[in-house]
């Protein structure tokens, strides 16, 4: 046979190369890179995160707006149970698992358990279904599992499911959880580091079958649950504001979106923040936070700032008269037209404010500040603070800006009179309301806030005080501004809307055009978009709440007015709040304790309930869940609000320990009765 020298040579070279590599590797391990203990351990041991419970979001009166309900996944180390125990009870365990999950027959579970044990499975999920607390406790008593983690191999893992008992109420303000992660909006997003808590650590090790199991010999670090956040939102006022805005948007196809903010005058606490958009099918949703994210030219509601400056500096008085000019020429541009002045020869300042005359405020600004427009803008920014960009409790707060002469080529002579009546500046609805709230608050601006405190186990761990941003005008100027704002409602653009209103409201209407995508007020389709605004406070005699409503139109050829569209929203809210708080009493506060349970229904232990089902009617959902599940009940529910009924009824016997709760918002009459009882 002929020897193939080339093939032999190739094989020889290959073996020599492999030998050299082996020698180099041996030298490296012996003298250069010796693996330390951590490298060895890393291949056979690691850590698993133990989930913690996310903190709750609590409304101003103590009711829960968001909370987490624990759910449990069962897994099994099939090698833990002794043979005698497993063989004797595997059929009973299979039957129990079949009844618990309802996804497989007992015989199928039995075959699976036996095959997993024969394969040495040490960490196998029994089902994809997550269990309630009560279901998990039942499983712990199953045959084999009742011997515990080491004796029976049961592994229990906890997960949290986020619940919003008031459904979509304040959806954009609260934020939401998706795939167990907070979206970067609202309280859920901005307070995530507070709500999230700190996960624990469970060491795990690899077995000889390459399965990862808990290392019971290593130190386990327990999780730290998240901190609760109490917000300033009042559930009742939020609900009123949402209904009022929805009623108005539903009146016309040309109304596209809107926002409402209700603020407590003295504290700056936001009691309601509504953001609503209507789709082409007439359905409402909260996709964008217009209240803090949409800035634009506010229109005539800005005239209050101009009036404040004029009165505060003694330039004019409310009853001073000026010539009414329908077509007013300023500089070299096109004359400014104001058809509201056609029926006037002279007009008082207060009347100009009541009918929302643009030229009155253009002319006054030009007369007193035309030679120094920078002073005018600086005073608006620094003294009146109307464009102040303060820190807010949730992300997405757009920066306000008023055009300034220092902007150079961007500044035009006509900008001064335009700023005076609400154009050539950009504010969000929250900026505008913060200023109006200052005027309602005797001229003192307070910073708006959504977060009141942090709580742990019902105890306050951090309180957020009222932040005083300073005075925006002289104290003696405030009554004059109140008189002018009340005049708008009694004699001006708000007269028809607020006629017969049950509570005295003071405020200002405003309408502004919205810049279209092409950068102009009129789009390529020839249509315009408007925003209609009403901002004010109530009750007039002793301001408790300030409010702003802004309605945005769809592109349209029609005109659009603030009093017509935004005013009715404010009136409905004001009357609803007035009806629910006829004496303007302070909001009720919850004690944080569970309602007293009658003696014959108090659980004697975690295992038994004496004398029938407990009475949980009137409780909040979270408190009832904690109470009932801890005492052995499997709970289901429907509706929102407080618990209005339960099945079985209180005192009845329940063989299967299942209870269904019905949640209902109390009627307006019922709420009035509750508050009257509290006041007495």
- Cα 533–chain centre separation: 23
Question: 278 and 284 in contact (C-beta within 8 Å)?
Answer: yes
Q: What pLDDT does residue 82 have? A: 94
Average pLDDT of the residues in 297-322:
97
CB distance 390 to 380 below 8 Å: no
Predicted confidence at residue 11, as pLDDT, reads 63
Please report the pLDDT score of residue 204 as a whole number.
74
Range in 149-163, 271-285, 654-668 the model is least confident about: 654-668
Q: What is the mean pLDDT of residues 111-121?
A: 92
Round to whole Å and give the CA distance between 316 and 484: 13
CA-based nearest residue to 239, from 273, 264, 216: 273
**Residue 673, SS3?**
helix
Strand partners, 127: none
Q: What is the pLDDT of residue 678?
A: 38
The answer to whether 548 and 471 have CB atoms below 8 angstroms apart is: no
Predicted pLDDT at 669: 45
Fold annotation for 232-294+448-468+494-592? Beta-Lactamase (3.30.450)
Measuring CA to CA, which residue among 71, 70, 75 is closest to residue 225?
70
pLDDT exceeds 90 at position 241? yes
pLDDT at 528 over 80: yes
CB 399 within 8 A of CB 425: no
Instruction: Select the more confidently predicted residue: 615 or 425.
Output: 425
Tell me the two tokens of residue 219.
């130190």
Q: Which tops the pLDDT comparison, 673 or 341? A: 341
The model's pLDDT over 440-468, given as tens digits with 9 standing for 90+, comes to 999 999 999 999 999 998 899 999 999 99
How far lies 615's CA from each of 386, 645, 652, 666, in Å? 52, 9, 10, 18
pTM over 0.75: yes
Mean pLDDT of 340-346: 95
DSSP structure class, residue 450: S
- Does residue 286 contact residue 172 with C-beta atoms inside 8 Å? yes
Instruction: Give 166-207 as a DSSP string.
Output: TTTTTHHHH--EETTEE-SSHHHHHTHHHHH-B-EEEEEEE-
Backbone dihedral angles phi then psi of residue 593, each to the nearest 5 degrees: -100, 155
Percent of the chain predicted with pLDDT > 70: 85
Most confident of 321-325, 550-554, 624-628: 321-325
> Which alpha helices (H) appear in 34-80, and where do they start and end?
37-44
Segment 486-494 mean pLDDT: 96
Residue 387 pLDDT class (50, 70, 90 cuts): very high
- pLDDT at residue 80 greater than cutoff 80: yes
Specify which residues 361 forms β-bridges with: none
Residues 6 or more apart whose Cβ sits within 8 Å of residue 236: 580, 671
Please check the confidence at residue 605 and state whether its pLDDT lies above 90.
Answer: no
Does residue 84 surpass a pLDDT of 50? yes
What CA–CA distance (Å, rounded) separates 308 from 316? 10
Q: What is the DSSP code (8-state) at residue 105? A: -
Tokens of 531: 């925003």
Contacts of 11 (CB under 8 A, 6+ apart): none
Domains 48-229 and 232-294+448-468+494-592 share a fold: no
**DSSP character for 18?**
H
Q: Where are the domains of the chain?
A: 5-34, 48-229, 232-294+448-468+494-592, 599-679
Q: What is the pLDDT of residue 459?
A: 94
CATH fold for the domain made of 599-679? Trypsin Inhibitor V; Chain A (3.30.10)
Handedness of CA 560, 273, 637, 619 (dihedral sign): negative
Residue 317 has pLDDT above 90, yes or no: yes
Structure confidence at residue 181 as a pLDDT band (50, 70, 90): confident
564 to 182, 296, 553, 644: CA distances (angstroms): 39, 20, 12, 39
pLDDT value of position 5: 61
Cα(577)–Cα(271) distance, rounded to whole angstroms?
Answer: 11
Radius of gyration from C-alpha coordinates of the chain? 34
625 confidence band (pLDDT: 50, 70, 90): confident
**How much is the average pLDDT of 261-289?**
92
596 pLDDT exceeds 60? no
Q: Count the Cβ atoms, other than its own, within 10 Å of residue 310.
A: 23
**Mean pLDDT value of segment 259-284:** 93
Average of pLDDT values for 186-209?
85
Highest mean pLDDT among 443-447, 528-532, 628-632: 443-447
Average pLDDT over residues 249-261: 92
Tell me, what's the pLDDT at 374?
96
Please report, to the nearest 10 degrees, the dihedral formed by the alpha carbons of residues 229, 234, 240, 241 taken in order. -60
* Side-chain-side CA neighbours of residue 559 (13 Å): 5
Identify the band that residue 433 occupies on the pLDDT scale cut at 50, 70 and 90: very high
**Per-residue pLDDT at 313:** 97
Pick the range with the lowest mean pLDDT from 222-226, 471-475, 624-628: 624-628
Supply the pLDDT for residue 265: 98
Percent of the chain with pLDDT over 90: 57
Question: Is the model more confident about 297 or about 15?
Answer: 297
Which tokens go with 43? 């291949």
Distance from C-alpha of 54 to C-alpha of 57, rounded to nearest angstrom: 10
d(CA 434, CA 426): 14
**Stretch 517-525: mean pLDDT, rounded?**
75
Tell me the pLDDT tens digit for each residue of 541-584: 999 999 999 999 888 887 766 668 999 999 999 999 999 876 65
Residue 630, pLDDT score: 67
pLDDT at res. 602: 32
Instruction: Report residue 153 CA to chain centroid gap.
Output: 42
Residue 587 pLDDT grade (very low, low, confident, very high; cuts 50, 70, 90): very low
Of 604 and 472, the one with more pLDDT: 472
Residue 645, beta-bridge partner list? 662
For the residues 339-348, what does the mean pLDDT come to? 95
The CATH class, in words, for 48-229 is alpha beta
Dist CA 267 CA 544 (whole Å): 10
Query: For residue 44, what pLDDT band results from cuts at 50, 70 and 90?
Result: low
Compute the mean pLDDT over every residue in the chain, rounded to the nearest whole number.
85
What DSSP string describes 616-671?
-TTS-HHHHHHHHHHTT-EEEEEESSEEEEEESPTT---SS-EEEEEEEPPPHHHH
Give the C-alpha separation, 195 to 52, whole Å. 10
- Please give the pLDDT value at position 200: 87
Q: Is beta strand 228-231 parallel, antiparallel or unpaired with respect to 451-456?
A: antiparallel
Instruction: Look at residue 19 and tell me whether its pLDDT is greater than 70.
Output: yes
Asked if the model's pLDDT at residue 89 lies above 50, the reply is yes
The pLDDT value recorded for residue 31 is 59
């Amino acid at each position: 046979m002929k020897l193939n020298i080339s093939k032999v040579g190739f094989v020889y070279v290959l073996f020599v190369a492999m030998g050299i590599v082996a020698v180099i590797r041996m030298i490296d391990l012996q003298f250069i890179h010796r693996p330390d203990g951590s490298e060895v351990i890393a291949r056979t041991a690691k850590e698993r995160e133990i989930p913690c419970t996310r903190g709750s979001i609590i409304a101003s009166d103590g009711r829960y707006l968001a909370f987490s309900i624990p759910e449990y996944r069962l897994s099994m180390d099939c090698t833990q149970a002794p043979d005698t125990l497993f063989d004797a009870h595997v059929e009973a365990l299979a039957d129990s698992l079949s009844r618990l999950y309802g996804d497989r027959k007992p015989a199928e579970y039995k075959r699976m358990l036996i095959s997993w044990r024969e394969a040495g499975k040490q960490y196998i999920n029994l089902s994809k279904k997550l269990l309630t607390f009560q279901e998990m406790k039942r499983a712990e008593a199953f045959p084999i599992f009742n011997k515990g983690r080491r004796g029976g191999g049961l592994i229990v893992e906890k997960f949290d499911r986020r619940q919003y008992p008031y459904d979509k109420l304040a959806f954009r303000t609260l934020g939401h959880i998706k795939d167990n992660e907070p979206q970067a909006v609202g309280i859920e997003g901005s307070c995530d580091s507070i709500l999230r808590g700190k996960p624990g650590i469970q060491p795990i090790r690899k077995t000889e079958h390459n399965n990862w199991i808990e290392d019971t010999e290593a130190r386990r670090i327990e999780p730290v649950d998240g901190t609760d956040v109490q917000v300033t939102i009042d559930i009742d006022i939020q609900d009123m504001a949402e209904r009022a805005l929805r009623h108005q948007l539903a009146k016309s196809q040309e109304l596209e979106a809107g926002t409402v903010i209700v603020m407590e005058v003295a504290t700056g606490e936001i009691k309601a923040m509504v953001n609503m958009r209507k789709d082409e099918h007439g359905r409402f949703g909260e996709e964008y936070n217009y209240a803090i994210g949409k800035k634009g030219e506010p229109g005539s509601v800005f005239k209050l700032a101009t009036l404040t400056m004029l009165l505060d500096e003694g330039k004019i008085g409310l009853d001073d008269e000026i010539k009414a000019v329908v077509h007013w020429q300023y500089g070299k541009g096109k004359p400014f037209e104001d058809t509201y002045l056609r029926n006037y020869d002279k007009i008082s300042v207060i009347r100009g404010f009541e009918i929302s005359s643009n030229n009155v405020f253009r002319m006054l600004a030009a007369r007193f500040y035309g030679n120094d427009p920078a002073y005018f803008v600086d005073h608006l920014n620094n003294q009146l603070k109307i464009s102040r960009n303060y820190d807010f409790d949730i992300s997405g707060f757009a920066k306000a800006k008023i055009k300034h002469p220092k902007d150079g080529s961007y500044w035009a002579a006509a900008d001064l009179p335009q700023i005076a009546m609400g154009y050539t500046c950009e504010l969000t609805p929250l900026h505008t309301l913060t200023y109006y709230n200052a005027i309602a608050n005797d001229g003192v601006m307070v910073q708006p806030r959504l977060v009141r405190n942090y709580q742990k186990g019902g105890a306050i761990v951090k309180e957020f005080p009222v932040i005083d941003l300073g005075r925006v005008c002289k104290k003696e100027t405030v009554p004059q501004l109140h008189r002018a704002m009340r005049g708008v409602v009694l004699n001006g653009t708000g007269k028809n809307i607020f006629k017969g209103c049950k509570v005295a409201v003071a405020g200002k209407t405003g309408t502004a055009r919205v810049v279209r995508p092409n950068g102009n007020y009129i789009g390529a389709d020839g249509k315009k978009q408007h925003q209609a605004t009403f901002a004010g406070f109530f009750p007039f005699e002793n301001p408790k709440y300030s409010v702003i409503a802004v309605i945005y139109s769809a592109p349209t050829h029609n005109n659009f007015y603030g009093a017509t569209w935004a005013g009715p929203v404010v009136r409905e809210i004001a009357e609803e709040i007035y009806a629910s708080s006829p004496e303007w009493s302070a909001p009720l506060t919850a004690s944080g304790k569970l309602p007293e349970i009658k003696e014959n229904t108090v659980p004697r232990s975690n295992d038994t309930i004496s004398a029938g089902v407990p009475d949980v009617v009137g409780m909040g959902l979270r408190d009832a869940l904690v109470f009932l599940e801890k005492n052995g009940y499997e709970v289901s529910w429907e509706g929102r609000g407080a618990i209005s009924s339960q099945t079985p009824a209180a005192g009845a016997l329940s063989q299967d320990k299942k209870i269904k709760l019905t949640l209902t918002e109390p009627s307006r009459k019922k709420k009035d009765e509750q508050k009257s009882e509290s006041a007495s």
